[in-house]
Amino acid sequence: MSLLIAPPLRTDLRRPILVLAEEPHFDPRAIRRAIRDFEKHATSPRFPIRSELAGYSVAEAKRALAGLPAPGDYRVVIKRLRYRTRPHLAGLCEFDVGRIVLNVPVPFRPFDELVHYRAKRRPGPGMRFTWFAERVRFRTRRDVLRFVYLHEWLHWYLREVMGRRSGAETACDRFALRNFRRRRVSVDDAVETLQGCRTQPLPESYRLAA
């Protein structure tokens, strides 16, 4: 009598290979570009900007000033600054025509500027002050535009919003110094800067003229 012995069953301990659908390919560089484009359009200034600086477009100016507070119905104009020996900061808030002028040194090269952010009155007769200053390095036109804009914007805020005299140069420099390298600046930052700052009310004749 013969016995039919079946071959032993093979037990494969290896897990079966799962064939999954191929994941779509994402280029990290493309994602970063998309995020930059989204942020650029989301934070572009909502006030009119005109560039009279050769080779510097309005789109570049909007990117440079993105995230900064608006100056009401004032226009912003970017102009060339001609200098004799060295570049420096310059700007103007023109209340009579509703315009803020930002000057960019041409030719541009990185430069240092001494920014006075505080003054302390000395005891004794006369108007004597101890000045506190910080030397700031401006490496790009963007640095210049943001600093000068914030300085001039606070002049606008003091007069047009608070109804005060706008000649608080030290407060404006302090506000610009604290905030020009931040991505976003708000009115609350201006209010914080002006705490303890003594400014005189705007004369009634100026109010009527405005």
Residue at 13 is within a domain: no
Is the residue at 61 inside a domain? yes
Q: For residues 49 and 78, is the Cβ–Cβ distance under 8 A?
A: yes
**CB distance 128 to 121 below 8 Å:** yes
Q: Is residue 31 part of a domain?
A: no
Give how many domains the chain has, as a whole number. 1
Contact 107, 81 (CB under 8 A): no
The residue-averaged pLDDT of 135-146 equals 97
pLDDT reported for residue 43: 55
Reply yes or no on whether the pLDDT at 209 is more than 50: no
On whether residue 159 sits in a domain, the answer given is yes
Least confidently predicted of 25-39, 89-103, 159-173:
25-39
The span from the CA of 136 to the CA of 158, in Å, is 25
> Does residue 118 sit within a domain?
yes
Residue 35 belongs to a domain: no
What's the one-letter identity of residue 13?
A: L
Tell me the percentage of the chain whose pLDDT exceeds 70: 66
In a domain, 24, yes or no: no
Tell me what pLDDT residue 56 has.
95
Nearest to 136 by CA among 114, 168, 151, 158: 114
- The boundaries of the domain holding residue 134 are 47-205
- 67-109 confidence digits (pLDDT tens): 999 999 999 999 999 998 999 999 999 999 999 999 999 999 9
Query: Out of 53-57, 108-112, 124-128, 147-151, which region has the weakest mean confidence (pLDDT)?
Result: 124-128
Bridge pairing between strands 75-82 and 99-106: parallel
Structural domain includes residue 71: yes
- Residues whose CB falls within 8 Å of the CB of residue 55, separated by 6 or more in sequence, listed in order: none
Per the model's pLDDT, the better-predicted residue between 45 and 140 turns out to be 140
Contact 52, 78 (CB under 8 A): yes
Residue 151 contacts residue 175 (beta carbons within 8 Å): yes
**Residues 28-65: b if buried by 16+ CB within 10 A, e if exposed:** eeeeeeeeeeeeeeebebebebebebeebeeebbbbbb
Give the separation between CA 91 and CA 17, rounded to whole angstroms: 69
**Residue 161 scores a pLDDT above 80:** yes
